[in-house]
Amino acid sequence: MTLEVLDIESLDLEARGVARREGKVVFVEGALPGEKVRARIVRSKPSFDTARIEKIIKSSSQRVEPGCPHFGMCGGCAMQHLDAAAQVAIKQRVLEDSLWHIGKVRPATIMPPLHGPTWGYRYRARLSVRAVRKKGVVLVGFRERRGSYVADIKECRVLPPHVSNMLLPLRDLIGAFAQPDRIPQIEVAVGDQTTVLLLRHMEPLTSADITLLREFGERHNVTWWLQPKGPETIHPLDPADIDKLAYTLPEYGLRMPYRPTDFTQVNYEINRVLISKALGLLDLQATDKVADLFCGLGNFTLPLATKVASVVGIEGSSTLTERALEAARLHGLDQRTRFATLNLFEVDVQWLRELGYFDRILIDPPREGAEAVARALVALNTDERPKRIVYVSCSPGTLARDAGILVNEGGYKLRSAGVVNMFPHTGHVESIAVFDAL
Ligand SMILES: C[S@@+](CC[C@H](N)C(=O)[O-])C[C@H]1O[C@@H](n2cnc3c(N)ncnc32)[C@H](O)[C@@H]1O
């Protein structure tokens, strides 16, 4: 394949440099905006080419030494070669560009990015396991960036240090099992008092395997959970550990119990910042009635309940709404909270009306966004509308689409928007947007 000298214009969210050659887009792995590189075209499609750097002719001032020795090979991170502040600036631009190109909206103000720790932040992870018989090793880690093999990583700087330090001991542990090749995956959930490791095993474990698990658990302060079949089969190795996993929200005096497969935000420290920010932006009054849509296990609902007259949390998973209700009871907040389980992708204005009037609405959907909710909100009469909507998003594209509906079809005003640095060194963009009813 041909060698080309390319000027890199921008970065996509997989952290590939974007260049143009005779009008055609070329994605260059590892190249940064402003750089001139000599690159080899490795794939050619009708609408774009992909290329690999052979030499950086002119380097970007924002290029930094990656913090992790496995960067480039491991698929866990994509942007470590870019200065942390520049990563956030790129995500900010992606947000603004999406809002404009997809939604045809511009926020009146851009909020400064919300910052948290850039290393050791990842409190949730799904690690793949692979016993490589030929080499006589067991690999435990993320997938490789190219292809589907498990990356041979000995440490990981985005995992909390105590979890990173377990990666090699975990190899030895699985290697000593009766059937190491029947263990495909270990999920990690770091709580306030313990770290849960959820072991997926395709065959029953032997009593010797269980003894090894217990010894490992004691040595590393780990609580083992097991998953012999589908997700519904998860259970703690020791039944007494069932309620041990939780995270705390000290600002609101809350401790949120959860199970290792429940949805929780990956980066707990920035989650705390995000909750404060979202509640601040909602501009709450003590008499307010608030709806928290896509409420999960009540991450925003319970903090909201400490501030306002009533909150309704709505969510698609009954496991999560039950968990949320249980937590509300535990904290004496159940008088002010109500939870409902519902598919929010299929709601309409009649449903929203029947739910009653809300002064404020918080929306925190999955990547698919909240189109049906946005359409229901714009179909309300002006006197039925919430005065303010705060939308927390993990996908700028769907946020932009929904913002377009709220603003261009419904006359809401996009007051402000900004990014939340929830996933440093990866291409994921978390953001927050504030809409006012006019
Ligand atoms: C980004 S999470 C936010 C959860 C919660 N707000 C939090 O901060 O932990 C999105 C939530 O939407 C829920 N969800 C996904 N699809 C849904 C649907 N169609 N209807 C209702 N909820 C859904 C998921 O179960 C998940 O809890």
Q: Is there a domain that residue 256 lies in?
A: no
* Res 153: pLDDT: 96
pLDDT in tens, 223-263: 999 999 999 999 999 999 999 999 999 999 999 999 999 99
Mean predicted confidence (pLDDT) in 145-173: 95
* Res 1: pLDDT: 72
- The CA 120 to ligand 1 mean position distance, Å, reads 25
Q: Is the C-beta atom of 420 inside 6 A of ligand 1?
A: no
Q: Does one domain contain both 43 and 165?
A: no
Q: Is the C-beta atom of 364 inside 6 A of ligand 1?
A: yes
Q: Is the C-beta atom of 301 inside 6 A of ligand 1?
A: no
Q: Is the C-beta atom of 302 inside 6 A of ligand 1?
A: no
Q: Does one domain contain both 50 and 135?
A: no
> Could you tell me which residues are beta bridge partners of residue 430?
420
Q: CATH code at 207?
A: 2.40.50.1070
In angstroms, the Cα distances linking 436 to 162, 329, 406, 412, 417 are 44, 32, 10, 6, 12
Closest atom of ligand 1 to 346 CA is 19
pLDDT in tens, 107-127: 999 999 999 999 999 999 999
Q: Is the C-beta atom of 271 inside 6 A of ligand 1?
A: no
Q: Is the C-beta atom of 294 inside 6 A of ligand 1?
A: yes
CA dihedral 72, 31, 367, 396 (to 10 degrees): 150
Q: What percent of the chain has pLDDT over 70?
A: 100
- Do 264 and 300 form a contact (C-beta atoms < 8 A)? no
**By C-alpha distance, which of 190, 322, 323, 340 is closest to 258?**
323
Mean pLDDT for the chain overall? 96
- The CA 315 to ligand 1 mean position distance, Å, reads 6
Q: CATH code at 412?
A: 3.40.50.150
Q: Does one domain contain both 283 and 210?
A: no
pLDDT in tens, 2-53: 899 999 999 887 889 999 998 899 999 889 999 999 999 999 999 999 999 9
The residue contributing the CA closest to ligand 1 atom 8 is 299
Which residue is it, tokens 């698919």?
368
Number of residues in the chain: 438
Q: Does one domain contain both 237 and 150?
A: yes
Give 239's contacts (C-beta < 8 A, 6+ positions apart): none
Q: Is there a domain that residue 187 lies in?
A: yes
Separation between Cα atoms, residue 260 and residue 145, nearest integer Å: 26
The residue contributing the CA closest to ligand 1 atom 22 is 316
DSSP 304-317: HHTTSSEEEEEES-
The pLDDT-based confidence of 91 (bands split at 50, 70, 90) is very high
- The CA 318 to ligand 1 mean position distance, Å, reads 11
The pLDDT-based confidence of 294 (bands split at 50, 70, 90) is very high
- Do 94 and 396 form a contact (C-beta atoms < 8 A)? yes
H or E element in which residue 289 lies: strand 289-293
E strands, 191-244, are 195-200, 222-227, 235-236
Q: Is the C-beta atom of 144 inside 6 A of ligand 1?
A: no
Catalytic residues: 394
* Res 146: pLDDT: 83
Q: Is there a domain that residue 152 lies in?
A: yes
Mean predicted confidence (pLDDT) in 269-290: 98
- The CA 247 to ligand 1 mean position distance, Å, reads 18
Closest atom of ligand 1 to 368 CA is 16
Q: Does one domain contain both 113 and 128?
A: no
b/e map of 316-348 (b: 16 or more CB within 10 Å)?
A: bbebbbebbbebbeebebeebbbbeeeebeebe
Q: Does one domain contain both 320 and 407?
A: yes
Q: Does one domain contain both 385 and 279?
A: yes
* Res 408: pLDDT: 97
Q: Is there a domain that residue 141 lies in?
A: yes
The number of beta carbons lying within 10 Å of the beta carbon of residue 124 is 17
Q: Does one domain contain both 179 and 298?
A: no
**By C-alpha distance, which of 437, 432, 367, 370 is closest to 407?**
437
What tokens were used for 172?
A: 């030895």
What tokens were used for 382?
A: 């002006």
- The CA 294 to ligand 1 mean position distance, Å, reads 4
- Structurally, the chain folds into a number of domains equal to 3
The residue contributing the CA closest to ligand 1 atom 26 is 296
Q: Is the C-beta atom of 316 inside 6 A of ligand 1?
A: yes
Q: Does one domain contain both 302 and 385?
A: yes
pLDDT in tens, 195-225: 999 999 999 999 999 999 999 999 999 999 9
Q: Does one domain contain both 347 and 282?
A: yes
Q: CATH code at 54?
A: 2.40.50.140
- The CA 339 to ligand 1 mean position distance, Å, reads 13
Q: Is there a domain that residue 246 lies in?
A: no
Q: Is the C-beta atom of 298 inside 6 A of ligand 1?
A: no
Q: Which domain holds residue 165?
A: 124-241
Task: Give, rounded to a whole angstrom, the gap between the first and last alpha carbons of the chain.
Answer: 57
Q: Does one domain contain both 191 and 210?
A: yes
- The CA 293 to ligand 1 mean position distance, Å, reads 8
Q: Is there a domain that residue 191 lies in?
A: yes
- Do 332 and 261 form a contact (C-beta atoms < 8 A)? no
Q: What percent of the chain has pLDDT over 90?
A: 94
The residue contributing the CA closest to ligand 1 atom 13 is 294
Q: Does one domain contain both 296 and 375?
A: yes
DSSP 364-379: ---TT--HHHHHHHHH
The residue contributing the CA closest to ligand 1 atom 4 is 296
The pLDDT-based confidence of 133 (bands split at 50, 70, 90) is confident
pLDDT in tens, 52-78: 999 999 999 999 999 999 998 999 999
Q: Is there a domain that residue 260 lies in?
A: no
CA dihedral 99, 105, 110, 116 (to 10 degrees): -30
Mean predicted confidence (pLDDT) in 286-296: 98
Last residue of a domain, one of 224, 241, 258: 241
Q: Is the C-beta atom of 315 inside 6 A of ligand 1?
A: yes
- The CA 109 to ligand 1 mean position distance, Å, reads 27
> Could you tell me which residues are beta bridge partners of residue 222?
195
Last residue of a domain, one of 208, 241, 274: 241
Q: Is there a domain that residue 253 lies in?
A: no
Mean predicted confidence (pLDDT) in 172-195: 96
Closest atom of ligand 1 to 271 CA is 8
Q: Is the C-beta atom of 267 inside 6 A of ligand 1?
A: no
Q: What is the pTM of this model?
A: 0.94
